[in-house]
Structure 1
Amino acid sequence: MPPNLSFHPPLLNTASPWATTESHLHDLLLCPSTGAVTTRTSLIDGFPHAADSHRYAFFDPATGKATPGTFSGPPEDSESDVKDNAANVPPVATLNTLGYSPLPLSQYLSIISSLASTVTTSSSPPKTIIISVTGSPAEISTCHNLIQTFSTSPSCLFPLAMEINLSCPNIPNLPPPAYSPTSLTSYFDALPSDTSIPIGIKIPPYTHAGQFDSLISSLLSTTSTSNTISASKLSFLTATNTLGSCILLDSLETSGDYQKILPGEGIGGMAGPPLHPLALGNVATLRRRFDQDPRLAHLEIIGVGGVHNGEGYKRMRHVGARAVGIATALGRRGVQVFASIEDEIKSVW
């Protein structure tokens, strides 16, 4: 069996622009209402972030109207420009054309090392850090080797896990690999049969039964590098990422015409409350399918999508999420959103 992904409380951030910098990760680690922290998805050499084309916007999920301005995220934007820390802020959604973190994996390992001395104490166990990565199957294998080696070094005082992001809808000419059984198999083949760190995959939203069938088939397939099924290499799944092929339009009062909110074609990945019912359905379906087969029952699910309050947290847990991840609400309200959720559920995890 693969290593178990276990942390408490079962609430954390997910890979997003608001988990990019050392300051972000520092604040998340110090927040008493998070049990784990996820880094923004990185590549071995970093992502070529372009502030003019990689941007995100907040919008009102009831009206579809965007709030003023769009943002590129760190390091171009101030980390505090778009936060509204008031507890009574209405829920907002996001649309983004972002890619991955401009920081390479090596920089995140360095950040984790530097944070060890400031956020760990002898009186409380250090939090799990989930390092989110992406790249080709060969690059993912290299990422695993780097992370596993780092996990045993004296400079790493945190339990580590690796999340493979196979779900970003915004990369030109590279559809999310988790939609393709062939692509999934190539990634599973690249993973080690024996590892000391929990490994998981982040998947995109699935919208019909055939997509779930393909995922289950891939998880149960025997990898070419071993005599074991692919699922035996994994400890968890993160479900779901943003929903691609979405667009925001703003009306021009003078002409009655519309303009795109985001640059280029204006099409990107949507997250926040409009995604919540779909994310719940994905988690519920995955948990049911996993529990039907003993070979998949060990897989834990981090439920992600549109959670911004205690009720959303409880819904995710009800449909089978082992832990609940937050992104959009974190971007809007800062780390206090986690304390607010804990207060609403009265710490009944």
Structure 2
Amino acid sequence: MAPQINISPPLLNTSSPWATTQSDLSNLYALPSTGAVSTRTSFLTTGFPDDPSIHQHAFISPSSSLNTYGYSPHPLPYYLTSIKSILAASDQPQRKPFIISITGSDEEVVSCISLISKWTSENSIIAYAEINLSCPNIPDKPPPAYSSPALCKYIASLKNLQATSEVDIVPIGVKTPPYTYQLQFDELISAVEQYPGVISFITATNTLGNSLFLTNDVDDGLKPVINSAAGTGVGGLAGESIHPLSLGNVFTIRRMLDASANGDVKDIVIIGAGGVRDSEGYKRMRKAGAVAVGVGTAFGRDGIEVFDRILKSD
């Protein structure tokens, strides 16, 4: 059985540009209305080569967003050091877990999980690892979670790590892209059923790729609202526009997990994310089967106060 996660209150930030720095994470950790803090997605040893001229975001009225970001400019060790510093600055025991978002090849991800697990063991820190297999904005690197063989390769490598690690492995989650037809859901469930006891949680969903928004420029007419590496302005859609799709993903994945004949698969929980901006969206995600609810676009648009507003209205 995979280790269980605990997020209380069941509200948190998603991995996003607004969780990039130690200061960002410190502010989220201090907030009573977040039950966990997610970091921005990082690589094992190097930062993502962020270029503000092509990695951008825009808020689309009334409450959606489009972005062409990649991953964090900081590598994994930056986040481990930052988390340790945040906890050391407090005179209280750790109040909530950190969800450390990582990505890379299956070998790199295994190294990340091994490093995080050893670090948590040595420092008595509560943390989970979320593997981002769903970013749509990396040229020539389609999200692995859309490919059954690729997804199985990751989970199989993690299964082997569990069997060989000298320390307990932290709870592991997978962040999935929005699925739009049944075969995609079938392949996800098949992958976790082939390697039960590895995955503790699924975060559904990331942004929806291949999205474009044009805005009217007085001089040049309609133009992409943001730039991108390809120069097209095509990126990942988030916020209210994908809320029904994300909600449907949470609902479908939860039903399929519950229908599994394997008890370890039934025990996998879902963090619901996608277009939650108020208490109504939060309640819908919980009703659909999310054990906790992540907020991204509304956090970036409205600031950290959005978490208090969502919970106070619940």
TM-score, structure 1 as length reference: 0.84
The residue identity in structure 1 corresponding to 2:174 is: I
Deviation readout 1:72-114 (Å, 9 max, x if unpaired): xxxxxxxxxxxxxxxxxxxx21100000000000111110111
Matched, 1:248 2:213: yes
1:36-51, aligned counterparts within 5 Å? 36-44=36-44, 45-51=46-52
Q: Distance in 2 between matches of 1:47 and 1:236?
A: 25
Report the Cα distance in structure 2 between the residues aligned to 1:294 and 1:343, rounded to whole angstroms: 39
What one-letter code is carried by the residue in structure 1 that aligns with 2:226?
Answer: L
Structure 1 residue corresponding to 2:141, chosen from 174, 195, 201:
174
- Give the corresponding residue for 1:308: 277
Q: In 1, distance between residues paired with 2:236 and 2:7?
A: 29
TM-fit CA distance, 1:158: 3.3
Q: Distance in 2 between matches of 1:288 and 1:278?
A: 15
Match of 1:262 in 2: 226
State the 1:126 CA deviation: 2.2
Which amino acid in structure 2 is aligned with residue 199 of structure 1?
A: I
Tell me if the contact between 1:177 and 1:184 (Cα under 8 Å) persists in the aligned partners.
yes
Could you tell me which residue of structure 1 aligns to residue 59 of structure 2? 58
Q: Which residue of 2 aligns with 1:344?
A: 313
Separation in 2, partners of 1:25, 1:252: 36
Aligned to 1:271: 238
2:23 is the counterpart of 1:31: no
Instruction: Supply the RMSD in Å over aligned alpha carbons.
Output: 1.3
The aligned counterpart of 1:93 is: 64
CA apart distance, 1:182: 0.8
Asked if 1:206 is matched to 2:173, the reply is no
| Structure 1, gaps ≥5 residues long | 62-91, 222-229
Cα distance, 1:26–1:165 mapped onto 2, change above 3 Å? same
Counterpart of 1:104 in structure 2: which amino acid?
P
Please list every run of at least 4 consecutive aligned residues from structure 1 whose deviation after the TM superposition is greater than 6 angstroms. Answer: none
Can you list the C-alpha shifts for 1:207-229, whole angstroms capped at 9, x where unaligned?
Answer: 011111111122222xxxxxxxx
Q: Is the 8 A contact 2:114 2:169 kept in 1?
A: no
The match for 2:257 is 290
**Which whole-Å CA distance do the structure 1 matches of 2:100 and 2:307 have between them?**
20
The secondary structure found in structure 2 opposite 1:153 is helix
Determine the structure 2 residue equivalent to 1:216: 189
CA contact (8 A) 1:2 1:233 kept: yes
The amino acid of 1:174's aligned partner reads K
For the residues of structure 2 that align with 1:254 and 1:199, how far apart are their CA atoms?
Answer: 50
Cα shift at 1:10: 0.5
In percent, how many aligned pairs have the same letter? 48
- Of 200, 223, 244, 1:235 maps to 200
Corresponding residue of 2:6: 6
Moved more, 232-241 or 186-195: 186-195
Q: Any gaps of 5 or more consecutive residues in structure 2? A: none
Per-residue deviation at 1:120? 5.2
1:113 to 74, 84, 88: 84
Counterpart in the other structure of 1:89: none
Alignment partner of 1:299 is 2:287: no
Task: State the partner residue of 2:125.
Answer: 158
Aligned to 2:287: 318
Residues in 2 aligned to 1:36 and 1:177: alpha-carbon distance in whole angstroms: 26
Query: 1:254 Cα shift?
Result: 5.5
- Spell out, residue by residue over 1:263-293, the C-alpha distance to the aligned partner (whole angstroms, 9 max, x if none): 1110000100011000000000000000001
Q: Is the 8 A contact 1:29 1:119 kept in 2?
A: no
CA distance in 2: counterparts of 1:115 and 1:149, whole angstroms: 19
Larger relative helix fraction:
2
Could you state the TM-score of these two structures normalised by the residue count of structure 2?
0.93
- Cα pair 1:206 1:212 within 8 Å, conserved: yes
TM-superposed deviation, 1:242? 0.2
